[in-house]
Structure 1
Amino acid sequence: MAKVDTAPSEPHAPPARPRSSVPQVPRQASPEPSEPSNSATLIGSVQRAMRLLERVAEHEYGAPAKQLARETGLALPTAYHLLRTLVHEGYLRRDKGLFFLGEAAVRLSSSGAEQKRRSTVADTLARCRDAIGVPVYYAQYRDGEIEVVCVSDTPGNPAVEEWADFRETGHAHAIGQCLLSQLDEDARRDHLERHPVQSITPYTVRDGSSLLRRLERVRRMEPVVERQEYALGTVCAAIPITLGTTAATMALSLPVQQSDRLLSAARQLQEEIGRLLGSLAISISI
C-alpha cells in the first residue's frame, strides 16, 4: 500500500522588500571575554587571613595582634579586622590579648590527620592483600559497635558483599567474633542484648549462650575462623589486634572451594601484621 505524503507544501517565497536608502552599518562582533589571570582570581583578604592562621599556629603560647601583624607584614588595622573575623568564625580564640587556634581550626587539623591515618591503614591492607592474594579487612569495636574501617580487594579476589549489616550480625562473621572475643563478659552480653543472635545461614551459631561459650574458648592471639556462617560459599579468618584498650582485627576471606588455604593464609596474614604493626599502630585510633 502506497504511503500518502501528508507534509505541507513548500510555502511561496515572500516578495522581496525594497532596499532602504539608509546605508547599513556592519555589526561589530562582541569581543570574547578574556580569561582572567590567575592572580586576578585570588582574594587578597583570604590570603591574608590564611597567613595569620599559619602564624598563630606557630605560637604554641599565643601571640598578640601587633606581633602577628608584624610577622605577616600587614597593617595593624587590617590585622585586627581579620583577627576579629577569625575569632568570630571559631578559627581563632582570644585570651588576655593573645590569639590561639580555635576549635574550628583544630577540627580541620584533626580531619587531615584522620585522613592520613586512614591512608596508612589502606596502604597496610593493600600490602597484605598483594602478599597473600586475598581480600583483607580492618575493623574496630568502637562506641559499642562493630565498624569495618577499610577493605582492600581486587576484581579477581572480591570482598564479601555486606548483604546483612555487619554491625548487627557480629555473631555470624569472623570479624565480629574476633572483636567480641576481645571484650569482657559484660561488654559481650551488652552487645548481644542490643544485637541478638539470629540465623543468617544454616551454619550460623544458634543462640547467644552457644556463642558466648565459643568466644570463651578463643585463645589469645589465635585466628578466629568461621565457615559459611555469614555468607554461603565463603570462609573467613580474623586476627585479633589489641593495642591499649582498643579492640581491632584484620581479617581475610576465601571462596569455600579454597577452604584448605584458610588457616595457612591466616598465619601468613598474622606474619604480615607483625611486620607492619608499627605503621598500623599509629592508625589504631582512627
Structure 2
Amino acid sequence: MTAKTSSGVQSVERAFDLLELIARAGGECTLSELAEQTPLPLPTIHRLLRTLVGIGHVRQLPNRRYALGPRLIRLGEVANRQLGALAAPVLRSLVQELGESANLAVLDGDMVTYTGQVPSPHSMRMNTEVGRRANLHNSGVGKAILATLDDERITRLVLQAGMPAATEHSISTLPALMAEVEQIRAQGYAVDEEEQEIGVRCFAMPVSGAPTPMALSISGPISRVGEDFAVKAVDALKRATGTISEALTGVSA
C-alpha cells in the first residue's frame, strides 16, 4: 500500500481515472467536463491528457474534445477475450442447467458487444457470435446494462445511437424505454420479447460491481422459453452473475 503514495504510481492511477471518465462519457468529452468529474487541478488534467495523446491512448478531435485513442483497441480486444475465458465456465453451467444459449456482453460505446457465448445443444437455437454488436434499447443484455446507468447517461447513449426497430416488437421511443428501464431496476432482470429476432425470447441480468457495465443472458425460441422457464432462468442468472462478480472482484484485487 505504501507504493501507492509514490508520484509515479499516483500519476498512472490518475491517467487511468481519466480514461475511465472518458469511457463513461461515451468515449469522448471536453476538458471542462473532465474537470467537473475529478478533483484534480486543471493543469494536471491537461498535462495527463497531453501524455495520453502522445502515446495514442487518447486523441484530440478537431472540435477540441478528447476521445479514447486507437491504441486502446488492441488492449480492449485482448481484455474482452480474457473476460470471455473467465466467464466461459459460468456460461457452460447455464447451458447445462437450462438447455438454452448463454451470452456475456459489455457496454461498448453506445452499443453492447458480445464477449462470451455458449450455444444451446438444440438444433434450433439462438446463436450469437462473439464480437457482434447490438443496440442497447432492444436487446436483453443492452436493457439490463442500461438499468445500471443513470437516466442522463441512458438518454445520451440512446439518442447518440438511435433506436432502429429490428422487429415490430422493438421499443422505438425514449419514454417507452425509460419506463421499461424502471421496471428492470425494480425486478432485477430484463426481457427481450422478440425485439431483436422474431420467435426468440431472452432473459438478461447485469453483473453487479463489474469494472465496466456488463450483463449475462439466456435466450432461446419462445416455444421453449415460457413462463416456467422464466422462473428457472432468473434464479440461475442470479447465481451466475454473482459468481462472475466474485471472480472479477478477485481479479481486480
Q: TM-score range by the shorter chain?
A: 0.5 to 0.7
1:272 aligned to 2:239? yes
Cα pair 2:140 2:192 within 8 Å, conserved: yes
1:150 aligned to 2:116? yes
* Residues 63-97 of structure 1, C-alpha deviations (whole Å, 9 max, x = no match): xxxxxxxxxxxxxxxxxxxxxxxxxxxxxxxxxxx
Match of 1:176 in 2: 142
Match of 1:260 in 2: 227
Shift of 1:175: 1.0
Q: What letter is aligned with 1:128?
A: L
Match of 1:247 in 2: 213
Cα pair 1:177 1:224 within 8 Å, conserved: yes
Task: Give, in whole Å, the separation in 2 of the partners of 1:110 and 1:149.
Answer: 11
**1:175–1:144 CA distance, 2 compared to 1 (3 A):** same
Task: Give, in whole Å, the separation in 2 of the partners of 1:201 and 1:284.
Answer: 39
Shift of 1:215: 1.0
* Residues 206-234 of structure 1, C-alpha deviations (whole Å, 9 max, x = no match): 31221122212322561111211111011
Q: What letter is aligned with 1:149?
A: T
Q: What letter is aligned with 1:185?
A: D
Match of 1:122 in 2: 88
Q: What letter is aligned with 1:204?
A: S
| 2:171 maps to which of 175, 186, 205 | 205
Cα pair 2:209 2:245 within 8 Å, conserved: no
| 1:238 maps to which of 200, 204, 210 | 204
Structure 1, unpaired ranges of 5+: 1-107
Kindly tell me the number of residue pairs found equivalent between the two proteins: 177
* Residues 257-278 of structure 1, C-alpha deviations (whole Å, 9 max, x = no match): 1223341232232343166346
Q: Alignment partner of 1:218: what SS?
A: helix
Which contiguous aligned blocks of 4+ residues in structure 1 show a shift greater than 4 angstroms?
108-117, 282-285
Give the fraction of aligned pairs with identical amino acids, expressed as a percent. Answer: 15
Give TM-score scaled by structure 2 length: 0.59
Cα pair 1:173 1:229 within 8 Å, conserved: yes
